[in-house]
Structure 1
């Protein structure tokens, strides 16, 4: 029996050879795409691709108006297009550096939010105390100190958001020089300097490779009483260090509680862009909506950090075309080549992606995933390229080289200065990121309804046809400003974010 569905397909480019199912499509369903009609030859799951035309074996498959792979066998109209009949395309992309770069026209009226103005003019969106371990050996002590301030312990300090232990699994058993140690120190310094921390206590063991003195010597000055450092060996042991650390933090709390929010321009907003648990709708709804919001952030003088280098692989030509200079484009390509060599060294390759969850959601190749991921960066010029955890100085859209693994990537962005994270997800992520608030953007309404207590914004209304991308971007920009002003995210309401600090480890364990 032949059935039909009303508007079941999403066509993203006029010359695309595939469309995306808006909902589950049974076999033998009559489908209308513009002036064309076709019948589904197999069941097509929501978010998955269906062939709109005959595609020969070896022929390129197009989505978003771009090549996402090649057919590994002949594909008939109406057939499901996925890993069983499509694979990665090895064809290189032409780089037209700067061709699509356009200067940004500033907003006529400057948007604002209420943030914490710190010494030196930096602005925080939260007001935490951080207890930071230099080495894994001091991690438990840092956690014990932070745990002492749970529950009603902060009742007398209503303007303090909490005490956070920033711990990790490294800091020793590594070379005393080189990229690995420098990367760890850069990450820890970025957190110790972060404007979302009113005060910071750094704790080491005493004999570790990552010694406290060189770690903290380059930190920006804080107000008296809002920075301290100690080692367990010098304090006389674990219990002594915990007791002394609790006393130090107790004194910091009184000072941190004096901070008050004030109105500041949106130019002080630095947003880290993340996507995780992507599905076939990520590049259709949440990522473009976030890109539209990013364009507004940039228009108002703010900064957005696009990252996850392995997940822009195959789409880097879209970024080099927007580069503000050849030097910026060249720096991006050097990081891409570094990743090609890095993955080969470990017996892998850059197409070792998408993840099983991505594939279950309808994403077939890294090209398809990357084209959707780049959409998070909006349409403005690429103003800089930074290494992992490097302090971001440029305004506008920038790129930071990070792994695709979300906790590692977001850790680098926060170390670089991100005071807000926006995280798109199609399968469902609950990621929290203290001291930086993390907004979760659902790609589809089913996910938003199923995990409504974890999702902050429903981009699925774009897929449902109830909202345009531009409107979603405007609403999301307003949500960014409200969150930066103190409105809690879902992950903050659940108390998530104490365990997600995860620096990128590059050095050999020795």
Structure 2
């Protein structure tokens, strides 16, 4: 029987996210002619609507504001009839003007009745690692290949000799010289490298330079805020005698560190010691309905334990920042977020763009049309807890509770900033299918729909598609994410770790001129 032969209740084929919304989200491919019962009337599908895309619930005039999630996601660029697909051909950006409120939407997160724990590596400064790595931090790109040559000697079965160490990772990048160290870009790179050097998941550290770069080894190590029990060595290729000599010396140094680090053991520690990074990539029309709000619930569960969660990707909260300022614990915190949004407007304008250049082609293929729509779904990763702090890129995160970090939307750069800030675990939601990994912090990938989870099962850790089908709820899926976070923090390998990903995803944000 054809898909459109029998009228069906709208809820069997689409999701209405808020009463009064102008659109619903298709949960299956809707063929032209399909008849749906909605609000006491029959709604005929006038154009094909793919799964995850929007269908108009009423006639909308050209220029009319269109609502989803109870919020404006844009304006109709053409007249839209009830039953038509609503997407880039008839929906465009709307001017973003908000009367910002500060602290008016604060929700009290009640401390958890039962304290939870995980098995981590306590560090001398009171932080707790979820992994135990040797990190080779390069001060300049000129030492990148040498760092990789050293680290590559400790991949695979050779690490079986040190079962309590998670690996050796070369943190190589594309900068470090030809830049002004005191510039904004220079300070961001320095902050990022120092954040990794002092990270709780780095038990042993080699800072490796060439020897003549602007951002030198001594500059990186000066007054480094690292746990006192971090094993630290410094090397430069020029002083050591070239690449071959440096690789030999570096490998010997790593072996000595591994012998010492292998004596460290995981211990039971409170969940309040966790710092969780919240990120998304390859989003689709289900992201703001399934994985993101489920992760938001998990974030609230962690905050109730006294832990820290960090939302990021400033261009992907643009248009929804008013929802975050309402949750700010003070006007100062909320204003700091608005200041970062204002910085981004100037930054993208200087490059000839605007913040509504987002979403990406893949996002649009998945059903997202405007950055307003994408952002409203993205902020759901932050749950409902009060916003306690706003940080610049790679700045050390110190406040407990739900926080925000200013990062680009480009996934490797964003996650690099989160980890530099101290995230010891990262949760990453995806609807189109991301293959991001991370070292030294593990990345848990959460599928927004069951189709992508099944198609990319080796790359995904969790499936939240059951929220759409009714097989589970946001709260139940969020509880599953919470338990997975504790398990991964205790040493369970993620899908990306099983594939040994994360070496190439260290991508510091580059700003400014290179001379």
Q: CA deviation at 1:508?
A: 0.7
Unpaired runs of at least 5, structure 1: none
**How far apart in 1 are the matches of 2:413 and 2:226?**
27
**How far apart in 1 are the matches of 2:181 and 2:274?**
36
The reply on whether 1:462 has 2:467 as its aligned counterpart is yes
Match in the other structure for 1:256: 261
Contact 1:392 1:417 in 2 (8 A): yes
Residue 379 (structure 2) aligned to one of 374, 385, 398: 374
Contact 2:130 2:424 in 1 (8 A): yes
**How far apart in 2 are the matches of 1:376 and 1:122?**
24
Unpaired runs of at least 5, structure 2: none
The reply on whether 1:490 has 2:492 as its aligned counterpart is no
The reply on whether 1:146 has 2:151 as its aligned counterpart is yes
Match in the other structure for 1:79: 84
Residue 132 (structure 1) aligned to one of 134, 137, 150: 137
Residue 123 (structure 2) aligned to one of 115, 118, 121: 118
Residue pairs, 1:308-323, within 5 angstroms: 308-323=313-328
**How far apart in 1 are the matches of 2:158 and 2:485?**
30
Structure-2 change in CA distance of 1:34 and 1:300 (3 Å): farther
Match in the other structure for 1:55: 60
**How far apart in 1 are the matches of 2:70 and 2:208?**
52
Map Cα deviations across residues 106-128 of structure 1 (whole Å, 9 max, x no partner): 11111111100011111000111
Contact 2:181 2:187 in 1 (8 A): no
**How far apart in 2 are the matches of 1:73 and 1:157?**
64
**How far apart in 2 are the matches of 1:91 and 1:229?**
50
The reply on whether 1:239 has 2:244 as its aligned counterpart is yes
Match in the other structure for 1:42: 47
**How far apart in 2 are the matches of 1:402 and 1:481?**
25
**How far apart in 1 are the matches of 2:460 and 2:272?**
26
> Counterpart of 1:453 in 2: which secondary structure?
helix
Contact 2:197 2:226 in 1 (8 A): no
Match in the other structure for 2:290: 285
The reply on whether 1:205 has 2:207 as its aligned counterpart is no
**How far apart in 2 are the matches of 1:373 and 1:221?**
32
Residue pairs, 1:95-494, within 5 angstroms: 95-220=100-225, 226-494=231-499
TM-score, normalised to structure 2's length? Answer: 0.97
Contact 1:203 1:230 in 2 (8 A): yes
**How far apart in 2 are the matches of 1:334 and 1:222?**
32
**How far apart in 1 are the matches of 2:230 and 2:501?**
28
**How far apart in 1 are the matches of 2:252 and 2:451?**
48
> Counterpart of 2:212 in 1: which secondary structure?
coil
The reply on whether 1:66 has 2:68 as its aligned counterpart is no
Contact 2:123 2:229 in 1 (8 A): no
**How far apart in 1 are the matches of 2:160 and 2:134?**
15
TM-score, normalised to structure 1's length? Answer: 0.98
**How far apart in 2 are the matches of 1:371 and 1:223?**
42
Match in the other structure for 1:3: 5
Map Cα deviations across residues 58-108 of structure 1 (whole Å, 9 max, x no partner): 001010011000001110000000000000010412211110113432111
Contact 2:202 2:230 in 1 (8 A): no
**How far apart in 1 are the matches of 2:385 and 2:315?**
21
**How far apart in 2 are the matches of 1:486 and 1:124?**
10
Contact 1:225 1:251 in 2 (8 A): no
Contact 1:324 1:381 in 2 (8 A): yes
**How far apart in 2 are the matches of 1:274 and 1:3?**
42
Structure-2 change in CA distance of 1:489 and 1:101 (3 Å): same
**How far apart in 1 are the matches of 2:96 and 2:238?**
58
Map Cα deviations across residues 425-456 of structure 1 (whole Å, 9 max, x no partner): 00000110111110011000111111111111
Map Cα deviations across residues 196-237 of structure 1 (whole Å, 9 max, x no partner): 111010100000011111211122355578110010011111
Map Cα deviations across residues 413-435 of structure 1 (whole Å, 9 max, x no partner): 00000000000000000110111
